[in-house]
Amino acid sequence: MRPTKIIKIGLLFMLSLSLAGTVLGQQQDTLKSAFEKIEEQPGAISLDQAIQIALANNTDIKRSLLSVRDADQQVRTAWSNVMPEITSSANYTRNLEVPVNFIPEVVFNPNGDPDNLVPVAFGTDNNWQGGFTISQTIFNGQAFVGVSTSSLYKSAQSEGLRATAQGIVTQTRMAYYQVLIAKEQVRLQQSRLERVRKNLEDTRKSYEQGLVDEYAVMQLEVQLENIKPELTSAEFSQKEAVRNLLDAMGLPVSLSLEVKGDLSSFDIQAPNTSKEENRALKKVDRMTALSLESDSTLLQRAFEMRGDLRVLDVRQQLQEKQIKAQKSKYLPSIVANYNLRWSAAQPGNPVFFGTERQRARSQTFMVGVQLPLFQGFRRDAAIQQAQIQRKDLQLQEYQTKQNAESEITSAEESIREAFQIEAARKRALDLAQEGYDRALKRYQAGLGSQQEVTDAELQLRKAEVGYAQMVFNYLAAKAQYDQAVGKVPFVEEDVEPIKEKIELE
């Protein structure tokens, strides 16, 4: 191989390695950014931190932001339809052979033969033409309606971004609570396992001393082995819940994640909490005021704040503009044009646009009016279609309001249920713990049976699961309530703060 060919192959190989390294580096930077979001948090991540990360990284909110940016460009495009258009042109023609035309001889000689044609050359060696054209729309119904429509379209996309943010915050809260309840299930199974294991050790000692028979030991061994697969299943459920939370946060699901919060010690009615790990839960829970007395004012406020209803309202306004745009097709369009032209003709060697004596200038101004008289039935059909779509949007709004009222009522009932059973759940938990302690002491003192301990342990486990499930149901219902009334934590009426948090790069 020639040395130059070897050098070229080597350069191409190095270039391909460089490009591959650049792509790989970009992917690593993205993953590094995601990992840093978790690693920067001291210890476990809190609920408010998870929400902030979701608002910055979730794919759906990034796509909504792109829609808003696209709407900005559509506004500029709409304005361009009513702004002046300026174009320039320049042409040069070189006649390699001057065109020849045949003219009757009588043109030059009145006494000549009228059937005889004389060849005459017209033109010069070099011909130049150039100038400017300015076109301005004076009146065009569709263009003018399009300007106002584009602004409404941008508003619709902004409201869509706000609605998406509300949904992402609620989704993140629900996923976070699912991790907490899954973690609580693991903890309860581990506590149950430790209780049975400790009881088994004590029973074995009693068996060795001849205080109980071997059957009591076998019962506990069977109970212990039955708990182990339940613990394994709970651990896998917790991993799945963590993956769902990471997905809601827009982070790789392969990350390991710990969350703050303890459902077993969370008081749903207390305004504050003394436990550090529950402060973020209480903070987010209290960010939206709770009113369990449904009235017309609350419902109207929900209609005004809900993102999906605000989007439908803007879409109806857009449809009104669409009807006006279709009706404007019956109106004339008026356009003004101004032309400024230079032309030059020159023999011999070309000189740019010749000399002053070989150059001429012309100007024209024109106003054109076009009035569509008949275009079949498509204009009227388009108006009818737009009106049908408007009616469909009105029905969608009615159904959405019905759904909103139902969602508010359902969330309120779930919250009321949690409030009403909270005291009973607390009391049952305290009694079950006391009953288990007593049953265990009676058994260790030889006054009770293993069955009493097993029954007491079962009651304790049911009480613990019941209280944790009650707290989870309340937190989930409160998240749904916040979205139903349109007042979601960290999502204000102004979308600008939301846009600033989103990371698109």
Question: Residues 170, 173, 174, CA angle at the centre, nearest 5°?
Answer: 85
Angle, helices 214-249/450-484, rounded to nearest 10 degrees = 10
**Could you give the CA distance from residue 330 to residue 382 in angstroms, rounded to a whole number?**
12
Q: Are 416 and 407 in contact (CB under 8 A)?
A: no
What are the distances in angstroms from CA 189 to CA 182, 203, 219, 227, 233? Answer: 11, 21, 18, 7, 10
pTM here is 0.74
Amino acid 87: pLDDT: 94
Per-residue pLDDT of the chain (505 residues; tens, 9 = 90+): 444 444 443 444 444 444 444 433 443 444 444 445 454 544 688 999 999 999 998 989 888 888 888 888 888 888 888 889 999 999 999 888 888 888 887 777 788 777 788 888 777 888 889 999 999 988 887 787 877 788 778 888 888 888 899 999 999 999 999 999 999 888 888 888 887 888 888 888 878 877 778 888 888 888 888 888 988 998 999 999 999 999 999 999 888 889 998 888 888 888 888 888 899 999 999 988 887 776 677 788 888 888 888 888 888 888 888 888 888 888 888 899 999 999 998 888 888 887 888 888 899 999 989 888 888 888 888 889 889 988 998 999 899 888 888 888 899 999 999 999 988 988 998 898 888 888 888 877 777 777 787 778 778 888 888 888 999 999 999 999 999 888 899 988 777 888 887 866 5
Three-state SS at 83: coil
Instruction: Say what the pLDDT of residue 223 is.
Output: 84
Measured between alpha carbons, how far is 448 from 467 in angstroms, rounded to an integer?
28
Helices 307-327 + 378-444 axis angle, to 10: 170
Q: What is the pLDDT at residue 504?
A: 66
Alpha-carbon distance of 249 to 241, in angstroms, equals 12
Residue 177, pLDDT score: 94
- CA pair distance 461, 454, nearest whole angstrom: 11
Burial of 330 (0-12, 13-18, 19+ CB in 10 A): middle
The answer to whether the beta carbons of residues 206 and 448 sit under 8 Å apart is no
- Please tell me the distance from the alpha carbon of residue 105 to that of residue 99, in angstroms, as a whole number: 18
pLDDT at position 392, please? 92
Closest CA to 162 of 425, 479, 505, 487: 487
End-to-end C-alpha distance for the chain, whole angstroms = 45
Q: Burial of 101 by CB count in 10 Å (0-12 exposed, 13-18 middle, 19+ buried)?
A: exposed
What is the number of alpha carbons within 13 Å of residue 352 lying toward its C-beta? 1
What is the Cα gyration radius of the chain?
40
For strands 359-370 and 333-346, give the pairing. Answer: antiparallel
Q: Beta strands 117-121 and 100-104: pairing type?
A: antiparallel
Q: How far is CA 66 from CA 33, 158, 497, in A?
A: 21, 10, 16
Most distant CA atoms of the chain, gap in Å: 154
- Going 197 to 199 to 203 to 206, the CA torsion angle's sign is positive
